[in-house]
Amino acid sequence: MSLRLGPGSRPGSERLIGAERVPAEYGHRRLAAERNRREDGTRTSTTPAGRRGGTMSAPQAPVWTDVSRLPSFLSRLEESGGLSVRALIEELEVDLPVDGVTYHDRGIRIPGHDATFVHEPTGSRGRPAFSVQLDTIGPRNGWAIFDRTLSWDVYLLRAGDTAAIAWLSDEEYRIEESDHFDSKRDAMAAGRFSFGIFLYAGEAWEEQQRRIRSTNAPAYLLRDDGEPMIPNTQSEFYALVDSTVTEFRTSGAAPDYLGLLELEATVDG
């Protein structure tokens, strides 16, 4: 079974697992139905999202109880050049223990000791950009580059002892979510985002490390039913996502409106 992450999969036909967008349909195959409970124990809506262009049978209940927009984040990043997730949490003066993080990209998960946002003045393909670079576990490489010419909003999301930093462009909201939610904030509260950094501490972080240390793949996948799918090797990972290293590096295997320019997920050697 391959998990198609490219333009053939519609973010509008995705479902909520772990309060983030995870593709429910890849290569015209539908995975298991949505779980009623998140991987971390917080409840999700039991109503699946409708296909893009269709209607939703009921409003999606919020899965994040505290949604805080960070309005100066990208301008602050441009001034400083770079900002780690741990430093950001300290600056925000919020009580959030962070032992490690996991980058989320449409169901792909790359754990790391920390992640750093970087201002990219020359960007990718000649466009100004910002990137997220993972301090990965073991001999792995993980980063993503995003188109700064789009308008982005960055949020700190919390629900109980779970937290994430997530970002959503105006284009993605307009194309995928505006028919269903009155604002970006409402969409984020319902977990409708493609990219984010999840914050972990204690046993939850130990579990993230166990997952990635158990494999020689660059990342693991979170299925529609909330269960992890852990490929054994890099080649098996790319077979599952029905893509290639080159496609990730040249387009992120994503439609243009998502604003993802490049995605790196590789293992050295």
Residue range 13-63, pLDDT digits in tens: 233 233 344 433 322 222 222 222 234 433 222 222 222 222 233 345 679
CA triple 208-212-214, angle to 5 deg: 115
Given a contact cutoff of 8 angstroms between Cβ atoms, the answer to whether 68 and 155 are in contact is: yes
Do the Cβ atoms of 220 and 109 come closer than 8 Å? Answer: yes
Tell me if 41 is assigned to some domain. yes
91: left (phi over 0), alpha (psi -120 to 50) or beta: alpha
Please check whether residue 5 lies inside any domain of the structure.
no
C-alpha 23/C-alpha 108 separation (Å) is 10
Q: What is the pLDDT of residues 65-124, one digit of tens each?
A: 999 999 999 999 999 999 999 999 999 999 999 999 999 999 999 999 999 999 998 866
- Is the residue at 4 inside a domain? no
Does 21 map to a domain? Answer: yes
Q: Is residue 160 part of a domain?
A: yes
For residue 52, the enclosing domain spans: 11-267
In a domain, 3, yes or no: no
Inside any domain, residue 6: no
Q: Per the domain annotation, does 84 fall within a domain?
A: yes
Beta strands in the chain (DSSP E): 15-17, 20-22, 25-26, 29-30, 66-69, 82-84, 100-105, 108-124, 127-136, 140-147, 152-159, 162-169, 195-200, 220-222, 228-229, 260-267
Task: Tell me the whole-structure pTM to 2 decimals.
Answer: 0.80
d(CA 124, CA 193): 22
**What is the domain count for the chain?**
1
